[in-house]
Copies of this chain bind each other. A is one copy, B any other.
């Protein structure tokens, strides 16, 4: 087997979750997934398709009507207000989930030995693809604010933009960035996106932007979503934007996502999908189609609920002695440090076994967040969050007494 694959880090989140296997008394907030089932009318669309007998191969790039529907939705979000060119269906590829879209993009862009830069902390899958393809990966770390400042609240993570730009040179094939960010909640501003895009145009660097959390954004904006590179980019910019049905439509387990690419990439992407998965199943795509058509019935309610989750969890965490945590503008995670507990993997395992509380260790996302913990607040029942904070508080009290 390849040394590169053997050396790929195993998920530390799963390592913690495994420590809680078979324990029904653990309140689990470790995975990036809501505990709500997919809305019934979305499931019904797949059921109807199966009953119609849609069980055959489909187009590599997705059903034409789904590509069209995605293109319209992306156009509405990202180009209508500024009067940019509409995003054409030919720029859309339907994939087997967001992570598959990331893998396809990296396969299209990165040769072995190429230099790739990623902004961290970040969901480990974002950096794994480049490593699998044999690239040289460099990371640029966000910085956690120690104190309340103009740049953000204590516990918030911010980008040192000049540092990032200095790391992207003509040798950099690809920049990978995820904002709103998993796990930190950090979000790129319009100005930062513009500076990055301009810089990458001069260096010839591709941008791979994971924007799967764009709808889960809690600041008031003209388009109800986080700033996107699509708000600025020209159709032929070296930009691939990755999206997923998972988060905005409660469809994690369906494995359905998409990417927006320059139209010149369409042929190559079709070939890569053929060789990776051939296509997404038609009945799954039918569900995606209905999710988009009826998105006003799903996403606004979900975002409102997630905001309530955030505003239940974060203030409660902030009341705990010594805990620094900023309220994230986007995403579905609270990211925080516990005073005196610097090994997050050990802490997370102890929280499972000693407090019945399941969190993800910050070391899963980057060395610089190895003292942090991630709490996914996508919980149908707000009381679960309060209960979880209670468990944490009791555990911290015991620690301070021993």
Contacts and interface: CB of A to CB of B under 8 A. Distances in A.
A111 to B, nearest CB: 5
Contact of A252 (B57, B111, B284): B57
A54 interface: yes
Interface in A114-144: 125, 128-129, 132-134
A1 B253 contact: no
Contacts of A11: 271, 274
A201 to B, nearest CB: 16
B280 A255 contact: yes
Interface residues of A, number: 64
Contacts of A264: 1
Contact of A132 (B37, B100, B125, B272): B272
Interface in A179-195: none
Identical copies of this chain, number: 2
A385 to B, nearest CB: 19
Given A57-B252, A97-B278, 11 more contacts: A2-B107, A10-B267, A37-B53, A46-B46, A47-B50, A58-B253, A96-B255, A99-B277, A107-B132, A129-B275, A281-B284
12 contacts: A1-B108, A1-B265, A5-B272, A8-B268, A8-B271, A33-B56, A57-B253, A96-B96, A96-B255, A125-B274, A128-B274, A255-B279
Interface of A: 1-2, 4-6, 8, 10-11, 31, 33, 37-38, 43, 46-47, 50-51, 53-58, 96-97, 99-100, 103, 107-113, 125, 128-129, 132-134, 250-255, 264-265, 267-268, 271-272, 274-284
